[in-house]
């Protein structure tokens, strides 16, 4: 099973657990692409699944991956359509499924314009496509998926089992972070977006002086840079990893690292 990073690992978790419950004798290899995805696999499953990184999509590397892992079935999350991986699976008669599948119209246009000779055979080789929506299903068929294997099943992320105590935990965190202050959350931000957000935040605080910004950069390697950016804008910054010992009145900006 392949889940590129943290979000995909979270989404595939219910499927992994169900497969382990129904087929406890079958080992599962879960691949990711990012270190944060790797960390989340370890946090969720420990040693109950094997983990490795997905190989570069080059024929010799993919071939070695198949020889070493000997998969009986491949399950790919969302949009990880790697032509050489899928071609290698087809040559070895390994069924490949695309689950929680999504594909935007923009991606379809890009694939058809630049990568049609690679992508169309790859998508056509899939034995199952479980699409998030009818629109996604149509886009994948346009790209080459066989209509008889395409099914609209919704989004796996809606099958996540949230802890029963999550509302109480959220209320406690809200109280610790902000008390009664209004909060603006900017989550999963990319490079270049923080500058825009901080400019808007400065204007909003003229109207709402007690406004608190909770900022969560998407990539961990950017945390310190974003923290320095906030400080250069004159904002008192507290990272969640430092604990919640500071009073909310003393902080006008919080930079959260990661919350599991």
Largest CA distance in the chain: 63
Q: Is residue 227 annotated as part of the catalytic site, yes or no?
A: no
Tokens of 92: 């070895």
Q: How far apart are CA 125 and CA 64, in angstroms?
A: 20
Residues 6+ apart with CB under 8 A from 75: 1, 2, 12, 15, 96, 97, 99
Written as six digits, the tokens of 219 are: 């990539």
CB 202 within 8 A of CB 233: yes
Tokens at residue 256, please?
């959260």
**Residues labelled catalytic:** 8
């Amino acid at each position: 099973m392949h889940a590129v990073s943290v979000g995909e690992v979270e989404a595939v978790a219910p499927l992994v657990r169900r497969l382990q419950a129904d087929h406890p004798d079958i080992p599962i290899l879960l691949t990711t692409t990012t270190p944060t995805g790797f960390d989340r696999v370890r946090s969720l499953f420990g040693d109950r699944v094997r983990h490795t990184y997905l190989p570069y999509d080059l024929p010799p590397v993919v071939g070695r991956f198949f020889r070493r892992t000997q998969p009986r079935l491949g399950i790919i999350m969302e949009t990880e359509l790697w032509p050489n991986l899928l071609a290698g699976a087809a040559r070895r008669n390994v069924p490949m499924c695309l689950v929680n599948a999504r594909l935007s119209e923009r991606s379809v246009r890009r694939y058809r314009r630049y990568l049609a000779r690679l992508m169309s055979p790859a998508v056509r080789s899939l034995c199952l496509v479980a699409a998030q929506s009818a629109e996604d299903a149509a886009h994948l068929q346009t790209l080459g998926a066989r209509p008889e294997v395409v099914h609209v099943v919704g989004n796996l992320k809606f099958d996540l089992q949230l802890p029963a105590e999550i509302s109480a935990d959220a209320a406690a965190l809200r109280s610790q972070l902000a008390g009664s202050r209004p909060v603006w959350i900017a989550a999963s931000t990319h490079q270049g977006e923080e500058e825009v957000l901080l400019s808007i935040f400065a204007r909003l605080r003229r109207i709402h002086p007690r406004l608190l910004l909770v900022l969560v950069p998407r990539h961990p390697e950017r945390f310190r840079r974003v923290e320095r950016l906030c400080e250069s804008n004159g904002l008192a910054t507290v990272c969640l990893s430092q604990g919640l010992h500071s009073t909310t009145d003393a902080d006008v900006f919080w930079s959260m690292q990661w919350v599991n």
